[in-house]
Amino acid sequence: MIHYNFNHIVIFFVLISILVPQVSSVVEDCGPEQDNSCVDKSKALPLKIIAIISILITSIIGVWLPLVTRSIPALSPDRSLFVIVKAFASGIILGTGFMHVLPDSFDMLSSSCLKENPWHKFPFTGFVAMLSAIVTMAIDSISTSLYSKKHRGGVVNPEIGQRVDLEMGAKLLRYRVIAMLQTIHLLEKAMMAFFFSVTTPFGIAIGIALSNTYRENSPRALIIVGLLNASSAGLLIYMALVDLLAADFMGDKLQGSVKLQIKSYMAVLLGAGGMSLMAKWA
């Protein structure tokens, strides 16, 4: 999933870099009365640094825990408890997209600081969120197809002699390359875990650096952050519903147990409900 998320982010940033300079030229800066005087960047900076460290640590724990607990029967990903915890986490992701990120985008892109045309004439938040989900689905589908085709490739209906040669060659090389393959497999897991863990902290760090280049309530800031929030909301909603919930609930394990399905649904509602409650103070 990480590979298409990066592609999705790159594509969206390219679109933003093309569109924002054009649309932001038709708006005027907000007056002093519009500024958010409650925001103190100097006092907020230590909290942001704490957030970076906290997210990095929890991301590392969250990524490596399933890999480590495979050797512990009670905490194995194949156990029902792990499925329920995963459903709870999916509910949190879903609640974050619907109740936190999406409303922020609506607020920003409907701000009175922006011109009536086009920002108040068209629901950009819903459109970008929808487009984000569609693009993510397309990249996910195409990437899966290419991956399947690559690993399904080879000679179709090979002759018996060719098949024997391949089998003998494989047997001769098996013991020589097995250690190397295990090492590569471990390195792949380590690299994926590393990049997954640092993605969000790295994004926060970039946001801190960029926040010093513009006013919080300037039209350009509202447009950029509002569109990015809309895109993030679409990505989170798609990931929670399709990649996580649909994949699990339509899988053999949950389909084989109505009782486990009910527990997992309750976990989803608990996670989404908790994030919805937090939206009251966020």
The model's pLDDT over 73-122, given as tens digits with 9 standing for 90+, comes to: 666 667 888 889 889 999 999 999 999 999 999 999 998 888 888 999 99
In a domain, 49, yes or no: yes
- Least reliable range by pLDDT among 8-17, 79-88, 174-183: 8-17
Domain residues for the domain of 122 are: 2-9+41-148+191-278
Confidence grade of residue 188 (pLDDT, cut at 50, 70, 90): confident
In a domain, 142, yes or no: yes
Average pLDDT in the 189-208 region?
80
Does 57 reside within a domain?
yes
Note whether residue 226 is domain-resident: yes
- Give the pLDDT band of residue 44 (cuts 50, 70, 90): confident
Q: Is residue 271 part of a domain?
A: yes
Type of residue numbered 281: W
Task: Say if 95 falls within a structural domain.
Answer: yes
- Provide the pLDDT for residue 172: 43
Instruction: Answer whether residue 32 shows pLDDT above 50.
Output: no
Q: What is the pLDDT of residue 262?
A: 96
Average pLDDT of every residue of the chain:
75
Q: Is residue 18 part of a domain?
A: no
244 falls within a domain: yes
> What total number of domains does the chain contain?
1
